Amino acid sequence: MTTDSPMTDEAVREAGVEVKPVAGHIGAEISGVDLASHLDDTVVAAIRAAVLRWKVVFFRGQRLDHTGHVTFARRFGEPVVLPRRGKASPPGFPEIETTADRLELGGRFGMEHDEWLRRRRHTLLRGWHCDHGARVDPPAATILRAETVPPYGGDTTWSNLAAAYAGLSAPLREFADGLRAEHRLGVGYQPRPGDDAYVRHLLDRQVATLHPLVRVHPETGERVLYVNGYYVEQIAGLSRPESGAILDLLLEQAVRPEYTVRFRWEPGSVAFWDNRATMHLAPGDTAHLDHPRIMHRVMLAGDVPVGVDGRASEPITGTAPGRW
């Protein structure tokens, strides 16, 4: 996702777009826009500016179909085409992944969905993640559309990692600026005793990258606390106990309530977030409900993160820029 220049609040209003913040540090609802229609450049610029400022923006009552979803996403960047998708994802639209596919994953590896979810979230912080954070070039942004949602439950929560970094004490910011951490696919998963088919699956498809612990946002210039609970394994150069203690401290900082926003989905809702400056927590309160939750996402191609010292992330295994 790229932008030419930031827009002022007045310019946003003149574009006919209303941006209403919903929390102190993150999140805004945008009204006055029909995402299924042709959007002129001023409206696209206003939405882009809101995403950069508020990190995640929400639209309600939209009538997007798959074609409209992809068309809208292309106004902000190049959609990612995943090499593998589940059976629920729509044929003919390789840019779209249907998150109902996640309901199938546990069964593929011999687990009920509730056990699958429990093993992915065996600590309070493990469920927090950015999309495809183990890649050397994680997506720049994600656009998620709700088709069918339960009448209650199923909320998603996001955290502003730039605000979390700014909220650290100056000595801790300076310390974190010089660190790098290994992000690896599946380290947030707690294996089953004995043979575990999912662990074998992960080992066959391993992806890992050494990312800066603090990245510089390529558009806003903000410093971002680049942590998440699901992918980060260890801080390079530190012992396991040291790394674990510091990561826990930083993750707890990142998910402090004042840096988060929680969104209640409705059919036709759309969330558009900056995957470079946020992490999010998918809902864990719907597995026992007899209601479907069908969501569709498009991710926009991202760049390789760069740290405060100007050094870029380094691939370790299974990842290369632009190759999915």
Kindly list the averaged pLDDT for each block of 10 residues, start to end, along the chain of length 324: 59 80 98 96 96 98 97 98 89 91 66 77 82 97 96 95 98 98 88 85 89 98 96 96 96 97 98 98 83 94 98 97 95
Decide: 77 and 141 in contact? Cβ < 8 Å: yes
CATH at residue 55: 3.60.130.10
For residue range 8-33, list pLDDT tens digits in order: 666 666 678 999 999 999 999 999 99
Looking at residue 99, its pLDDT comes to 83
In a domain, 324, yes or no: no
Residue type at position 19: V
For residue 55, the 8-state DSSP code is S
Sign of CA dihedral 132, 134, 139, 140: positive
In a domain, 2, yes or no: no
In a domain, 6, yes or no: no
For residue range 124-142, list pLDDT tens digits in order: 788 899 999 999 999 999 9
Q: Which domain holds residue 26?
A: 12-317
Looking at residue 44, its pLDDT comes to 97
Beta bridge mates, 20: 29
Looking at residue 2, its pLDDT comes to 57
* CB atoms closer than 10 angstroms to residue 287: 17
Half-sphere exposure of 303 (CA within 13 A, CB side): 13
DSSP run (H or E) holding 183? strand 180-184
From the list 88, 54, 79, 12, the residue with the least C-alpha distance to 296 is: 88
Distance CA 205, CA 199 (A): 10
For the annotated catalytic residues, the residue numbers are 129, 131, 280, 297
Domain count along the chain: 1
